[in-house]
Amino acid sequence: MRFSIVVNGEQHVLDVPPTMRLIDLLRDELGLTGTKEGCSEGECGACTVLVDGKAVDSCLVLAVQVRDRKILTVEGLARDGELDVLQQKFLEHVASVQCGFCTPGMLMSAKALLLSEPHPSEEQIRLALAGNLCRCTGYTAIVRAVKEAADVMANAKSARPSDSGEAPELEPGAATALEPEAGLAGAAEGVPC
């Protein structure tokens, strides 16, 4: 089946089987192996990516379901060689004490949260990450990293002159007016598994 998608700001025209999952397209067809596969059944959140700004379990979604959508994977977080603030804070608080397998999914769920809620409470952060499991039980450090990233981004935004009314630039996978198709609803979206 031939269709196009935009992944991390780059358009791809692909010809893949209609039964191919999004995670397989990302990892096997595009070589984006930052997205991890844990449970393969929507329980662990390791495979979370953003589809039009919303967190989705890529193991539960067929590739054809996201045709013409904007996908953001963990590889697309860094810009111009500079890590996203979320990545910087995860490095600071999380990287040295854990295995990191859940980190790409955690980062993407946190990214979806901050796109929709730039000033999240701790409760909102924990709810947004509730569908992402960490075997290393590092939730406290992860929540702290997300909170600090939100604070850094809020401070940077308030210091920019463009805050006086200009619309913010859209991230590669940021939310658009598109609503998820039937079949995407219920897949991750930050919902506890």
Taking every pair of Cα atoms in the chain, the longest distance, rounded to a whole number of angstroms, is 48
126 is written with which tokens?
């924990």
Judged by CB under 6 A, the residue of 7, 22, 26, 44 near ligand FES is 44
Query: Which string of b and e fits 133-168 if b means at least 16 CB within 10 Å?
Result: bbeeebbebbbbbbbbbbeebeeeeeeeeeeeeeee
Angstrom distance (rounded) from CA 57 to CA 124: 19
Judged by CB under 6 A, the residue of 136, 153, 175, 191 near ligand FES is 136
- Kindly give the interhelix angle for 139-159 and 103-116, rounded to the nearest 10 degrees: 40
The 2-7 sheet, strands edge to edge: 10-15, 2-7, 70-72, 48-51, 54-57
Judged by CB under 6 A, the residue of 43, 122, 151, 179 near ligand FES is 43
Q: Which is nearer to ligand FES, 44 or 77 (CB)?
A: 44
Q: Which is nearer to ligand FES, 3 or 101 (CB)?
A: 101
- Listed residue (122, 164, 160) closest to 143, CA to CA: 122
- The number of residues that bind ligand FES (CB under 6 A) is 21
For ligand FES, the binding residues in 45-84 under the rule CB under 6 A are: 45-47, 57, 59
Q: Which is nearer to ligand FES, 140 or 164 (CB)?
A: 140
* Helix and strand element counts for the chain (H, E): 5, 5
Strand pairing of 54-57 and 2-7? unpaired
Instruction: Give me the least distance between CB of 163 and ligand FES, in Å please.
Output: 35
Judged by CB under 6 A, the residue of 100, 116, 152, 153 near ligand FES is 100
Instruction: Give me the least distance between CB of 189 and ligand FES, in Å please.
Output: 12
Judged by CB under 6 A, the residue of 42, 124, 130, 175 near ligand FES is 42
139 lines the binding site for ligand FES (CB under 6 A): no
Binding segment toward ligand FES, per CB under 6 A, in 66-74, 97-105, 117-125, 160-168: 97-105
Q: List contacts with ligand FES (CB under 6 A).
A: 37-40, 42-47, 57, 59, 98-102, 134-136, 138
